[in-house]
């Protein structure tokens, strides 16, 4: 079996030495290069075409973010961001890197972990990331017209569509930004959103998302009425499920669903029970199957449902499960999902 070819980019000699040592200790991995700045990472990636790049964000000459943008535009490669979760500026750059095409994040070792724990997690994450078939991200290049096929149609509804619900995982930060930028700010409905992100990295995500579009984004508040979220994106906070019950948002500390907390299924199923046909829901890119059962529940309750298509997904896992179980009323490329949500809301009102 061919070994996984890895390029490590890290400017700290201490952390760099650790990465090199851990990667070289695994017989399934071949370390093909080590970069100490973003420019060198780009050059080594082009020369060696690794299966995975581990990328620090804060590097001299060229930042990890700039290197990620260039690599994903010109030589797409699965990128694992290895970063600190304490510095707010670094967190924002990490979110930007996820939008640019990085597929996962891992916190740098703190030195307080049980012996060998971080090393095992690092190696397992590298191997997982290596299996993701990334797509070209076009921030540095011209975007061609979308050609993906669509299926189904917006379902006419006798009730007013008063709520949009969206779920995403791997590739989700970039996907939700594109959807929100396509939604009119005066749409007049709340957008409830669940994203799978490591809790240590998630605490600043709502603030970052708030700055990306005309929509106000924030974390949900326990017990607040749904009406208070009109015209806003309200997210499940890290490590808590978001639910809709009796017209109010609820934060739940129950068990994980499909190893996910927050879970898209928990949100979607609660929305199906509480809002039924007055909901339009979209399941975006992501690994696993979370959200598929919930999307089916919304469709069965009379709501409009959308799954992102394979060609535009970073990982075609969650949307694929929704297609297979019949939960997806439409299958659309990412660039058409905002228009479909808008049509569902405004068409139902008309």
Give the active site residues: 169, 196, 290
Cα angle at 299 between 261 and 334, to 5 degrees? 70
8 Å CB contact between 216 and 232:
yes
Tally of CB atoms within 10 A around 120: 12
Angle at the Cα of 151 from the Cα atoms of 149 and 156, rounded to 5 degrees: 140
CA dist., res. 273 & res. 246, Å (int): 10
Burial pattern 227-250, b for ≥16 Cβ within 10 A else e, equals: eebeebbbbbbbebbbbbeeebbb
Of all helices (H) and strands (E), which one includes residue 322?
helix 318-324
Burial 33-72 (b: 16+ CB within 10 A, else e): bbbbbbbbbbebbeebebbbbbbbbbbeebbbbbbbbbbb
């Amino acid at each position: 079996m061919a070994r996984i070819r890895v390029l490590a980019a890290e400017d700290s000699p201490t952390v760099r030495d650790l990465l090199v040592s851990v990667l070289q200790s695994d017989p399934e991995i071949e370390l093909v290069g080590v970069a100490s700045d973003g420019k060198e990472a780009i050059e080594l990636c082009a020369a060696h075409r690794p299966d995975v790049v581990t990328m620090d964000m804060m590097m001299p000459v060229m930042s990890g973010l700039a290197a990620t943008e260039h690599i994903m535009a010109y030589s797409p490669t699965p990128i694992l961001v290895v970063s600190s979760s304490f510095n707010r500026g670094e967190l924002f750059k990490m979110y930007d890197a996820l939008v640019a095409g990085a597929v996962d994040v891992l916190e740098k070792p703190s030195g307080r972990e049980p012996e060998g724990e971080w090393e095992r997690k690092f190696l397992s994450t590298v191997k997982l990331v290596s299996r993701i078939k990334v797509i070209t991200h076009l921030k540095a290049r011209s975007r061609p017209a979308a050609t993906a096929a669509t299926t189904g149609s917006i379902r006419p509804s006798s009730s007013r569509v008063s709520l949009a619900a969206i779920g995403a995982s791997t590739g989700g930060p970039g996907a939700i930004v594109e959807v929100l930028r396509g939604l009119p700010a005066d749409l007049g409905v709340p957008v409830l959103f669940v994203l799978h992100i490591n809790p240590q990295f998630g605490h600043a995500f709502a603030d970052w998302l708030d700055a990306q579009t005309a929509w106000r984004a924030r974390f949900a508040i326990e017990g607040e009425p749904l009406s208070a979220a009109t015209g806003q994106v309200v997210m499940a906070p890290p490590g808590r499920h978001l639910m809709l019950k009796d017209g109010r948002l609820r934060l739940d500390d129950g068990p994980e669903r499909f190893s996910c907390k927050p879970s898209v299924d928990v949100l979607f199923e609660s929305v199906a029970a509480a809002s039924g046909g007055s909901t339009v829901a979209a399941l975006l890119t992501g690994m696993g199957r979370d959200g598929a059962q919930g999307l089916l529940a919304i469709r069965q309750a009379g709501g409009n449902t959308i799954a992102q298509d394979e060609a535009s997904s970073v990982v075609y896992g969650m949307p694929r499960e929704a297609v297979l179980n019949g939960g997806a009323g439409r299958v659309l490329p990412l660039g058409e999902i905002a228009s479909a949500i808008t049509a569902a809301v405004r068409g139902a009102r008309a």
